[in-house]
Structure 1
């Protein structure tokens, strides 16, 4: 709404004409009742937006600020190139000559404010990315913890349980890899091999990695399903180290 408010304050007749043409007289009246004053609301918006950008996009803070603040060094002249939002809030208009030819005025703040809006919009993607990063870190920590538990089980010769737990970690990780790449399976309960095939088909892993994951899936199946044959210590050591490798190299 602030963008509309600034447009209206700079070009009231044109703004009114365009809104009425698009929405009609009654809608225009309702719209105008909701339209804030740019001068009255901008400072609050600026302070809140700057704090958010400082948190999520710290490298863009200076760019955001310079759209608003006057430069610290005195300007020899003020024109469209160096007119800032602070000038607009002070109602500054520059003219020249005895005929008072207009050089620049509040309308020059419109592209400045548009740039600020674009920087602010970028924080949304950064926020989503930050949440993604946090999720990945938490999950990686959880996987490390579960693999640590699998090692402890293996050290105490509970090989089948250790292999089964490592298999769960591998399955979860491959599921996350598919989610990261927006890949889905119609199967309700996909297995390691299902995920493995899908990520190979989409060139996320190469043939050696695919075969290695197949090998790990075989050990997992031995631990989960084959009660006649017991997994060996070597099987489980390979399983745990292999899963650890995959969780740190396949994303």
Structure 2
């Protein structure tokens, strides 16, 4: 089974390949005839080859949205200090009153927004977002250095592999009807992950031996998670406690399955 690092590398390489096509597609949609002329020149006047190249380009508007969402997830995990920069190149600035070249963003380009003055003078149009797309691709490319750098902290990725293995063990216990043992293992995985998230975000806890509830409360108080997610973690913790402490009520297979599935979701979505 491939490790999390291998999966991240594979996703990174695919997104980087897609980025080349997305940049070309954006240039084609923005510059039209100028882009066609440049492609034709690159193919040394071979019109058939140039046409084949342009016909193969994806639709920018639909392809970009999917690419952007996947990039967000990857950058959030591997390059979190650049996540806000990546988003800033896409989103309209909050509180923007007037639109000009300086504050025009990819989100505006996707809407086809075109700003003019004095009738026909173009102030900003989709071409104004070209540098923002280039910067997003540059941020994505910088992930490669994180894979290769000896300074890259891979503790989170290694722990993610370990937690995956422990969840697989919990699933196997459930398959053999060892309900309490399966729930206890899944509960430990949840506690470890919440502890790691708190540590990564420098959230200090005063208790010497904090529980799932303590980590959950700390994350909510630090505005890392919102109330619905806090309640979800609380629900998972309640099932775990049923396995560990309440000997009068036997946990059901459905409860344990919900616990294991819920913990798997948390480990893949909360960082």
Distance 1:4 1:42 in 2: 12
Q: Is the 2:114–2:122 contact (alpha carbons within 8 Å) kept by the matching residues of 1?
A: yes
Q: Is the 2:28–2:36 contact (alpha carbons within 8 Å) kept by the matching residues of 1?
A: yes
Corresponding residue for 1:22?
Answer: 42
User: Would the alpha carbon gap of residues 82 and 133 (structure 1) be closer, same or farther in structure 2, given more than 3 Å must change?
Assistant: closer
SS at structure 2 position matched to 1:83: coil
Matched, 1:91 2:91: no
Matched, 1:4 2:24: yes
Distance 2:125 2:152 in 1: 43
Instruction: Please give the TM-score of this superposition, normalised by the length of structure 2.
Output: 0.47
Q: Is the 2:114–2:125 contact (alpha carbons within 8 Å) kept by the matching residues of 1?
A: yes
Cα offset for 1:95? 0.8
Corresponding residue for 2:86?
Answer: 64
Cα offset for 1:90? 0.5
SS at structure 1 position matched to 2:93: coil
Cα offset for 1:102? 1.3
RMSD (Å), alpha carbons: 2.0
Cα offset for 1:100? 2.9
Question: What's the CA shift string for 1:38-67, capped at 9, x where partnerless?
Answer: 111111000001111111110000000000
SS at structure 1 position matched to 2:142: helix
Distance 1:131 1:102 in 2: 46
Matched residue count: 134
Corresponding residue for 1:190?
Answer: none
Question: What's the CA shift string for 1:137-190, capped at 9, x where partnerless?
Answer: x9xxxxxxxxxxxxxxxxxxxxxxxxxxxxxxxxxxxxxxxxxxxxxxxxxxxx
Cα offset for 1:124? 1.4
Distance 2:32 2:48 in 1: 17
Identify the match of residue 120 of structure 1 among 135, 140, 146: 140
Question: What's the CA shift string for 1:81-110, capped at 9, x where partnerless?
Answer: 10000000001000112x232111000111
Distance 2:151 2:49 in 1: 39
SS at structure 2 position matched to 1:95: strand
SS at structure 1 position matched to 2:58: coil
Distance 1:132 1:70 in 2: 32
Corresponding residue for 1:108?
Answer: 128
Distance 1:56 1:130 in 2: 14
Distance 1:130 1:35 in 2: 37
Distance 1:91 1:132 in 2: 39
Unaligned runs of 5+ in 2: 1-20, 159-271
User: Would the alpha carbon gap of residues 92 and 130 (structure 1) be closer, same or farther in structure 2, given more than 3 Å must change?
Assistant: farther
SS at structure 2 position matched to 1:103: strand
Unaligned runs of 5+ in 1: 139-251
Over alpha carbons, which structure has the higher Rg? Answer: 1
Corresponding residue for 2:64?
Answer: 42
Distance 1:118 1:52 in 2: 14
SS at structure 2 position matched to 1:86: helix
Distance 1:70 1:56 in 2: 25
